[in-house]
Structure 1
């Protein structure tokens, strides 16, 4: 792993983002890599008919989107050192597919995600995003356990 140029950190606002970015920062400093901090927002709700929905809902969604992007940028600024090249990315879509597509687009060499410690029963009933990513990703992945 001596050719690490792009590190993609997929974050959820419920994650301990500082922990994830701590790992990314250490690796980025060691290898001179760029850190991309990615959050996948929920896709726009589908409205009935052909119109994209009432204007006030579109305005609300747009403001929510801007707010999430500001939060991501704040994470970058607060948790990653100034001498690391970094960028916050907010995209919409289905989480697993969106992360994998972005990883490919950015030519990521490493994907960092958090894994939540759920009960055995919960894991049986609902596969986690990180597990799904592990199955489908074709780049190295670092999973960081997160306490809830």
Structure 2
């Protein structure tokens, strides 16, 4: 692990982002690495081949993406030491493919992801994004177990 210069932290807004960023911050300080906080937004309908919608829908989606990016930047600012080089990036596309492509573009040396704890049956029937990343990534992945919040 001596060559860590770029750490990618892939998040969704439902995870315990602070916990993931805490691991990233500690590694970034140790290796003087840069942290890339990444969130994948749902693809714009134009992106996936649909006909362009009315302008007001396109404007609404654009504003939604701006809000998500501002939220991502706020997370970075709230949880990461200002002394650590970091960027918050919002990308669009299919989650697994987009994260893997971005990791390659950014020359990431390590990816940090959260893994949700589910029942055995749930895990048997559905393959999580984290698992797909683990199977397909060309760089080491640090998978952090995330406690599910009770919905009661």
- CA contact under 8 A between 2:45 and 2:52: conserved in structure 1? no
Unaligned runs of 5+ in 2: none
Length-normalised TM-score, structure 1: 0.96
Partner of 1:95: 95
1:47-93 Cα shifts (integer Å, max 9, x gaps): 9x974101111011001100000000001111000100000000000
Query: What residue in structure 2 maps to residue 132 of structure 1?
Result: 132
Distance 1:134 1:38 in 2: 16
Taking only aligned residues, the RMSD between alpha carbons, in angstroms, comes to: 1.5
**Superposed displacement of residue 46, structure 1:** 5.5
Provide the C-alpha distance between the structure 2 equivalents of 1:58 and 1:78, rounded to a whole number of angstroms.
30
Q: What number of residue pairs does the alignment pair up?
A: 147
Question: Secondary structure of the equivalent of 2:44?
Answer: coil
Structure 1 unmatched runs, 5+: none
Which TM-score applies when normalising by structure 2?
Answer: 0.93
Change (3 A) 1:63 1:119: same
Distance 1:60 1:50 in 2: 17
